[in-house]
Structure 1
Amino acid sequence: MNIKRIFGALLTALGIGALIYEAVIFTNTSGSDKDIKALVIYGVLGVIFFMSGISLVRTTKDES
């Protein structure tokens, strides 16, 4: 087991979860400042986690 791959998969899952949560907030939004702030925060964190997780999984070599 490679710990980097596990951490990359965890980051990817957290990123997907944050992006799904952002979509749920987006569908239930009323347009207030608090809603827009949450959308931006969860969207940015979701993209960062997702991209770093995918990059970590892709660049880690299998050493068996």
Structure 2
Amino acid sequence: MNLKRTFGFVLTILGIVGLIYAAVLFSGTQGSESDIKGLIIYGVLGAIFFISGIGLVKNTKDEA
């Protein structure tokens, strides 16, 4: 297995975890300023990790 694909897989998993955590925060939020900041931070970081991980796995070619 290629090292870039492995790193892409790890980034994808971290992105999924970040997006799930943002969804959990969203479901239990009261609307305060700290809740909204946490939602934005975890949501944006999760989306960045997820998109970059998928792109890295997709664009890395297998070498035999």
Superposed pair shares fold, TM > 0.5: yes
Q: Does 1:45 align with 2:45?
A: yes
Asked if residue 55 in structure 1 is aligned to residue 55 in structure 2, the reply is yes
Partners of 1:13 and 1:26 in 2: how far apart?
Answer: 20
Per-residue CA distance 1:7-40 (angstroms, 9 max, x = gap): 0000000000000000000000000000000000
* In 1, Cα distance between equivalents of 2:53 and 2:42: 16
- For structure 2, the residue ranges without an aligned partner over 5 or more in a row are none
Unaligned runs of 5+ in 1: none
Q: How many residues align?
A: 64
Alpha-carbon distance in 2 for matches of 1:21, 1:51: 16
Q: What fraction of aligned residue pairs are identical, expressed as a percent? A: 66
Alignment of 1:17-36 (within 5 A): 17-36=17-36
Structure 1 consecutive aligned stretches of length 4 or more whose deviation exceeds 4 Å: none
User: Per the alignment, in what secondary structure is the counterpart of residue 14 of structure 2?
Assistant: helix
Q: CA deviation at 1:47?
A: 0.5
TM-score, normalised with respect to structure 1: 0.98
Partner of 2:6: helix, strand, or coil? Answer: helix
When normalised by structure 2's length, the TM-score is: 0.98
